[in-house]
């Protein structure tokens, strides 16, 4: 037999049966976790789709109630009107208005996480100008007492990258809160400012001179259904929660300044125009509302 110039090194490590069993258990745990995550994702998508559908369906009968309540306001029921007639009609209008706002907030809350993003460069100055103009022509809520003319100012603001419709919702909510949470008889004073940081994000502040945020609630106000002043001011408790969902999806952060006194200061960040940082990519259900 001839000689061979090849050498072979063979090694073996004993593997105990317990190691194989543990690896198999780990594989099964991971498979079960993946299955539960898929089921949870489907459940969330189904719940969001249901919220969108039921919100739209509830608006139709509510519109009818609002219409008939407005007719009652102008209905000729003789003079003098029955006792408490106007108060009862005003209460109907207040209730339907609150229901409308609640439906709108539920719809916005359910779509903020899963709706498809349409990212573009946004001129904050033009957007805020539109939001303020809409507020100026907004009709007063039925039964609401007249308020002094608000004072809204803003600086020259940089452009940001985001979804125009979603960002408009954020500004509408923040401005609406700033105009609402004022002391009786005092005009709302709101100032909006922004600056671009070295990290490529725009830091935006909405500052008001209203009643402020109670101590210890500067984080809690962003929780679901939390209301800092539940007895004195109407609201659904979803506005700031919606803002947080939207801002986080757009790659930013949002918070309230606990050091600010004499009112409230809400800040949030967004990627500056021309950047690609941080936008949260979320799977979109086939029926997601655009």
| Contact assessment for residue 249 and residue 111, using Cβ atoms and an 8 Å cutoff | no
* 83 and 159 within one domain: no
Query: Tokens in use for 8?
Result: 């072979």
Tally Cβ neighbours within 10 Å of residue 120: 12
| pLDDT digits 0-9 by tens, 237-279 | 788 888 999 999 999 999 999 999 889 999 999 999 876 655 5
Q: Model confidence at 15, in pLDDT bands (50, 70, 90)?
A: low
Identify each DSSP E strand in the chain by its residue range.
119-122, 151-154, 160-163, 189-196, 201-208, 254-256, 264-271
CATH of the domain at 123: 3.30.565.10
Structural domain including 178 reads: 119-140+148-271
Q: Which residues pair with 162 in a beta bridge?
A: 120
Cα within 13 Å of Cα(77), Cβ side: 13
Same domain, 77 and 127: no
> For residue 195, what are the β-bridge partners?
203
75 and 134 fall within a common domain:
no
The answer to whether residue 8 is domain-embedded is no
Ranges 10-14, 69-73, 81-85, 215-219: which has the least confidence: 10-14
- Are 201 and 252 in contact by the 8 Å Cβ rule? The answer is yes
Q: Integer distance in angstroms from the first to the last C-alpha of the chain?
A: 80
Low-confidence winner among 113-117, 121-125, 148-152, 178-182 (lowest mean pLDDT): 113-117
Residue 257 lies in a domain: yes
The CATH number for 70's domain is 1.10.287.130
* 58, two tokens: 């509830």
Q: Which residue has the higher pLDDT, 193 or 236?
A: 193
In a domain, 191, yes or no: yes
- Domain shared by 223 and 99, yes or no: no
In a domain, 277, yes or no: no
- Model confidence over 142-197: pLDDT tens digits? 555 667 788 999 989 999 999 998 899 999 999 988 988 888 888 889 999 999 99
Q: Quick one: 231 and 194 in the same domain? A: yes
What's the whole-model pTM score? 0.65
Phi/psi at 162 (5° precision): 180, -170
């Amino acid at each position: 037999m001839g000689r061979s110039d090849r050498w072979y090194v063979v090694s073996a490590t004993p593997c105990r049966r317990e190691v194989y069993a543990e690896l198999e258990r780990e594989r099964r745990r991971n498979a079960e976790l993946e299955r539960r995550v898929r089921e949870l994702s489907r459940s969330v998508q189904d719940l969001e789709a249901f919220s969108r559908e039921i919100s739209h369906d509830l608006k139709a009968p509510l519109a009818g109630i609002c219409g008939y309540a407005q007719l009652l306001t102008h209905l000729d029921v003789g003079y003098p009107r029955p006792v408490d007639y106007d108060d009862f009609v005003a209460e109907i209008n207040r209730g339907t208005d609150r229901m409308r706002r609640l439906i709108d907030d539920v719809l916005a809350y359910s779509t903020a996480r899963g709706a498809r993003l349409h990212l573009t460069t946004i001129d904050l100055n033009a957007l805020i100008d539109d939001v303020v103009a809409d507020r100026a022509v907004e009709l007063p809520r039925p039964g609401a007492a007249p308020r002094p003319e608000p004072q809204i100012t803003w600086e020259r603001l940089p452009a940001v990258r985001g979804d125009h419709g979603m960002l408009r919702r954020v500004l509408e909510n923040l401005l609406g809160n700033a105009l609402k949470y004022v002391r009786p008889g005092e005009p709302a004073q709101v100032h909006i400012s922004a600056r671009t940081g070295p990290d490529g994000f725009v830091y935006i502040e909405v500052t008001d001179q209203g009643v402020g945020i109670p101590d210890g609630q500067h984080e809690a106000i962003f929780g679901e259904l939390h209301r800092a002043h539940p007895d004195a001011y109407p609201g659904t408790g979803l506005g700031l929660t919606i803002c947080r969902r939207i801002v986080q999806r757009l790659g930013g952060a949002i918070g309230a300044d606990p050091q600010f006194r004499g009112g409230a200061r809400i800040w949030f960040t967004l990627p500056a125009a021309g950047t690609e940082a941080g936008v949260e990519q979320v799977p979109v259900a086939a029926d997601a509302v655009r």
